């Protein structure tokens, strides 16, 4: 422990910071895309049209029962095959880019379950009130139900985002250079596992711990008093 | 699509004399072993931590809370790497060498995955205990039970039955999370999946098979615990009357 070499960290901080930036980019992209897709899936699941319900249920259950690392690798390998089939030419995607897509479709399944319980937490009378005002289904959802569902579920959505932020480290499986990947690559070169892995662990801890405390405070502040 | 489907390759012999389908089965075995062993570690430690966090003793609560904060806020793959590559460097030299050379990988992986999951179980156990009316504890104490006996005979038997659905999903998660142990050299299902893709390039077939295997594991675990849940239902609670 006494020979903990801080210079390894300072010498490589630029590379680590690049990795962290990529991790944050994937997190934010997958959060926005995932919540959007997830909300659509939740609406499908709660709609009265049977095939839509089946599709949404199948989608969610599928992604919730396979390990994320497997999905990351499978999409990375299969997406080019599909693109080649559709467009007829070979398009190299790259590990970094495929992760954006994977995390968006994967997290959509988890966000959709959160949005579903959010929508279900809105009193039924709100929908009736929307229709009574002459709103269409779309308007009722967009202007009445979803804003409330979103507000009710905001802490849970953010907690899921913290989980997502941690899960981005699994792009290790396809060799993308995220925060952890960057640290791992430096370790392979400089053979300083203690410094590198500890740094990543500490930074992850500080960020996630701070965010989860913020979510807790937010939860107390935005709770609707009924 | 110019993908060449070939389901026969599962019966071809790989370099090590085994057939590819045997790789899948052996991976499935390791996945099950790692997951169940980690689940045992997690349940045991998670229960202890969960109970600690509900006691009136301040420092026990503090330890339990700190544990959960640390283990929930660091990604699993990094925790595993810490156990494998960092901890052996920090402990006394002799012990470090022993950890690196003699301690089987699987033990370290099980401990890593178990400690990670324990934080989640501790949360569930704590919320289960806190869901009970505090009168249950008072009643126990009034009967002359010690604090520990109120847990053993009154509160834990109820708490476990209340949080069993949440524990079920943790038990299913541990099978999925066990895939991450491939990164520290455990030859479980995902490791074999990766290896078979490298050897044969039959991505689609093996993806279908491995996905179905994970489905099956999750499904079996789910049915098993649903059975336990049914048998241990608390009469009188909403869940106990089937929602009626």
Domain-located, residue B7 = no
Q: What does each of the 226 residues of chain A score in pLDDT, given as a tens digit?
A: 557 788 888 888 999 999 999 999 999 999 999 999 999 999 999 999 999 999 999 999 999 989 999 999 999 999 988 888 888 888 888 889 999 999 999 999 999 999 999 999 999 999 999 999 999 999 999 999 999 999 989 999 999 999 999 999 999 999 999 999 999 999 998 888 899 999 999 999 999 999 999 999 998 888 766 5
Establish, for the pair of chains A and B, how many residue pairs have beta carbons separated by less than 8 Å.
Answer: 105
- Judge whether B75 is closer than 8 Å to chain A, CB to CB: yes
Residues in chain B: 244
CB contact under 8 A, B81 and A65: no
pLDDT of residue B1: 56
Number of folded domains in chain B? 1
CB-CB contact of B104 with B30 (8 Å): no
Helices and strands in chain B, H and E counts: 11, 0
Strand partners, B19: B13
What is residue B19's three-state secondary structure? strand
Tokens of A33: 């895309």
Domain-located, residue A28 = yes
pLDDT of residue B38: 97
Q: Which of residues 152-181 of B touch A (CB under 8 A)?
A: 172, 175-180
CB contact under 8 A, A78 and B81: no
Domain-located, residue A175 = yes
Domain-located, residue B202 = no
Domain-located, residue B220 = no
* More confident of the two residues B190 and A1: B190
Report CA torsion sign: B152, B155, B161, B167. Answer: negative
* More confident of the two residues B13 and B28: B28
The residue segments making up the domain with residue A70 are: 7-225
Domain-located, residue A2 = no
Task: Give per-residue pLDDT as tens, B53-80.
Answer: 999 999 999 999 999 999 999 999 999 9
The Cα–Cα gap between A182 and A75 comes to 22
CB contact under 8 A, A65 and B194: no
Number of folded domains in chain A? 1
Domain-located, residue B116 = yes
CB-based contacts of B85, cutoff 8 Å, min separation 6? A187, A193, A194, A197
Mean pLDDT of chain B: 90
Determine the straight-line distance between the first and last CA of chain A, rounded to whole angstroms: 54
The Cα–Cα gap between B116 and A87 comes to 44
* More confident of the two residues B7 and A167: A167
CATH number at residue A195: 1.10.3720.10
CB contact under 8 A, B1 and A197: no
Report CA torsion sign: A129, A131, A135, A137. Answer: positive
- Alpha helix positions (H), chain A: 6-46, 50-65, 68-87, 95-120, 124-132, 137-139, 146-167, 179-190, 193-222
| Residue B238 clears pLDDT 80, i.e. is over it | no
DSSP character string of A182-197: HHHHHHHHH--HHHHH
pLDDT of residue B242: 45
Domain-located, residue A72 = yes
Set of chain A residues whose Cβ sits within 8 Å of the Cβ of B89: 193-194
Domain-located, residue B105 = yes
Identify the CA nearest to A201 among candidates B116, B37, B138.
Answer: B116
**Residue of chain B with shortest Cα separation from A171:** B77
Identify the CA nearest to B68 among candidates B145, B126, B143, B131.
Answer: B126
Domain-located, residue B123 = yes
Å between B48 CA and nearest CA of chain A: 23
CB-CB contact of A190 with A137 (8 Å): no
% of chain B with per-residue pLDDT over 90: 66
Mean pLDDT in residue range B187-214: 91
CB contact under 8 A, A70 and B79: no
Strand partners, B13: B19
pLDDT of residue A10: 86
Choose from A67, A166, A210 for mutation: most chain B CBs within 10 A: A67
pLDDT of residue B20: 87
Domain-located, residue A51 = yes
- Judge whether B40 is closer than 8 Å to chain A, CB to CB: no
The residue segments making up the domain with residue B182 are: 25-188
pLDDT of residue B244: 39
Domain-located, residue B122 = yes
The Cα–Cα gap between A48 and A69 comes to 34
Task: Give per-residue pLDDT as tens, A93-105.
Answer: 888 999 999 999 9
CB contact under 8 A, A197 and B210: no
Domain-located, residue A1 = no
- Judge whether B210 is closer than 8 Å to chain A, CB to CB: yes
Report CA torsion sign: B217, A82, A77, A182. Answer: negative
Burial B102-120 (b: 16+ CB within 10 A, else e): eeeebebbbbbbbbbbbbb
Mean pLDDT in residue range B219-238: 85
The Cα–Cα gap between B70 and B64 comes to 10
Å between B85 CA and nearest CA of chain A: 6
CATH number at residue B167: 1.10.3720.10
């Amino acid at each position: 422990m006494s020979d903990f070499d801080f210079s390894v960290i300072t010498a490589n901080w630029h590379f680590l910071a690049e990795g962290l930036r990529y991790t944050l980019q994937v997190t934010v992209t997958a959060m926005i895309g995932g919540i959007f897709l997830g909300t659509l899936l939740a609406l499908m699941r709660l709609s009265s049209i049977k095939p839509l319900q089946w599709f949404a249920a199948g989608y969610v259950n599928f992604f919730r029962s396979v390990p994320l690392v497997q999905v990351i690798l499978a999409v990375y390998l299969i997406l080019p095959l599909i693109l080649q089939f559709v467009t007829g030419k070979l398009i190299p995607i790259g590990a970094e880019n495929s992760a954006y897509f994977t995390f968006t479709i994967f997290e959509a399944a988890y966000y959709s379950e959160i949005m579903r319980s959010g929508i279900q937490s809105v009193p039924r009378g709100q929908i009736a009130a929307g229709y009574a005002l002459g709103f269409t289904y779309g308007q009722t959802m967009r202007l009445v139900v979803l804003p409330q569902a979103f507000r009710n579920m905001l802490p849970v959505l953010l907690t899921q985002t913290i989980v997502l932020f941690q899960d981005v480290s699994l792009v290790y499986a396809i060799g993308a250079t995220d925060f952890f990947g960057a640290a791992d690559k430096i370790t392979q070169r400089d053979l300083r596992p203690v410094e590198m892995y500890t740094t990543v662990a500490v930074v992850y801890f500080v960020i996630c711990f701070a965010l989860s405390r913020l979510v807790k405070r937010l939860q107390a502040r935005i709770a609707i008093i009924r | 699509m110019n993908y060449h489907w070939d389901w026969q390759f599962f019966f071809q012999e790989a370099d090590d004399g085994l057939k590819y389908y045997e790789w899948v089965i052996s991976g499935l075995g390791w996945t099950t072993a790692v997951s169940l062993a980690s689940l045992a570690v997690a349940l045991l430690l998670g229960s202890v931590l969960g109970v600690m966090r509900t006691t009136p003793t301040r420092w026990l609560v503090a330890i339990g809370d700190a544990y959960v904060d640390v283990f929930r806020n660091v990604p699993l793959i990094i925790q595993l790497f810490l156990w494998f590559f960092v901890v052996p460097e920090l402990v006394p030299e002799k012990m470090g060498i022993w950890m690196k050379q003699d301690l089987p990988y699987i033990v370290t992986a099980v401990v890593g995955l178990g400690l990670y999951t324990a934080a989640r179980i501790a949360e569930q156990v704590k919320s289960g205990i806190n869901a009970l009316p505090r009168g249950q504890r008072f009643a126990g104490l009034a009967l002359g039970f010690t604090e520990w006996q109120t847990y053993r005979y009154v509160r834990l038997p109820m708490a476990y039955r209340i949080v069993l659905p949440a524990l079920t999903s943790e038990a299913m998660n541990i099978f999925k999370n066990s895939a991450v142990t491939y990164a520290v050299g455990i030859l479980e299902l995902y490791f074999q999946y990766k290896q078979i893709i490298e050897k044969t390039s039959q991505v689609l077939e093996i993806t279908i098979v491995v996905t179905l295997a994970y489905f099956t594991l999750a499904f079996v675990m789910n049915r098993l615990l649903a059975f336990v849940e049914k048998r241990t239902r608390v009469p009188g609670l909403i869940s106990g009357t089937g929602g009626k």
